[in-house]
Chain A
């Protein structure tokens, strides 16, 4: 009964390709997030959706496009992958407002 699940767990692909990562939560939360954790372990927020509406959009290249078909799902599509996109991408969810965030297991993206 994984609360926040991401697929795939590992993604190895070549520069220039387009890829998607999917996230689903079964906690009944209204808010979902994408974070990027780089090789130095620094965690930085990328996007957040509340009830399918984009509410946080940090300075992220527009090659990254999130989509939330419903409040339980948040996907991340990345176009024209670059070497610098190699990282672990974490999905998280929380209730509305300043509520604890629960993280998924992460997707390790490696660009060759």
Chain B
């Protein structure tokens, strides 16, 4: 089955700096890679996703890059703000009727003033 590794487990940045979270996956057949943000006590919320036919996708301060050859993908947050503080999860999904997401272990991002 699919295995997703995520680094770092914790990340502390100053407000205004950039944050980068990296994930690797094991199954080259995986074709869908979402990123979720989970605030304390809340549900995971999709913030951006990318499919295997695209190398990069951007949405305002958030961008995701995918390297299919190396089987890794990364989340980039620019101009971080205190409200970006949360746990971020990457995930990978194999093709199928349902999106069987395998999640990374999460990165706790702390944005300090």
Tell whether A and B belong to one assembly.
yes
- Find A41's partner among B51, B87, B101 (CB 8 Å cutoff): B87
B38 nearest CB neighbor, chain A only:
A41
Closest Cβ–Cβ distance, residue B48 to chain A (whole Å): 10
Do A96 and B97 touch (CB < 8 A)? yes
Report the separation of the CA atoms of residues A10 and B106 in the bound assembly, to the nearest whole angstrom.
Answer: 24
Does A56 touch B at the CB level, under 8 Å?
yes
Number of A-B contacts (CB under 8 A): 64
Interface-central residue, B93, B95, B101, by most chain A CB under 10 Å? B101
Contact with A along B45-73 (1 / 0, CB 8 A): 11001010000000000000000000000
| Complex contact B97–A45 (CB within 8 A) | no
Residues of chain B with a CB closer than 8 A to A45's CB: 100-102
Q: Report yes or no: A42 in contact with B99, Cβ–Cβ below 8 A.
A: no
Hey, which chain B residues are within 8 Å of A106, CB to CB? 43
Q: Which residues of B contact A56 (CB under 8 A)?
A: 98, 100
CA distance A48 to B100 in the complex (A): 8
Q: How far is the CA of A45 from the CA of B94 in the complex (A)?
A: 13
Bound CA–CA A42/B107 (angstroms): 11
Cβ contact within 8 Å between B44 and A97: no
Interface of B is mostly: strand
Quick check: B46 and A104 within 8 Å, CB to CB?
Answer: no
Which one of B42, B45, B97 has the greatest number of beta carbons of chain A within 10 Å? B97
The reply on B105 being an interface residue by CB < 8 A is yes
| C-alpha spacing A41/B31, complex, angstroms | 24
**B103 lies within 8 A of A98 (CB):** no
Q: Of all chain A residues, which has the CB nearest B52?
A: A98
Can you list 23 residue pairs at the A/B interface with Cβ under 8 Å? A31-B97, A42-B103, A42-B106, A43-B44, A43-B103, A45-B100, A45-B102, A48-B98, A48-B100, A50-B97, A55-B96, A55-B97, A56-B98, A90-B44, A94-B99, A96-B97, A97-B95, A97-B97, A98-B32, A98-B93, A100-B34, A101-B34, A101-B101
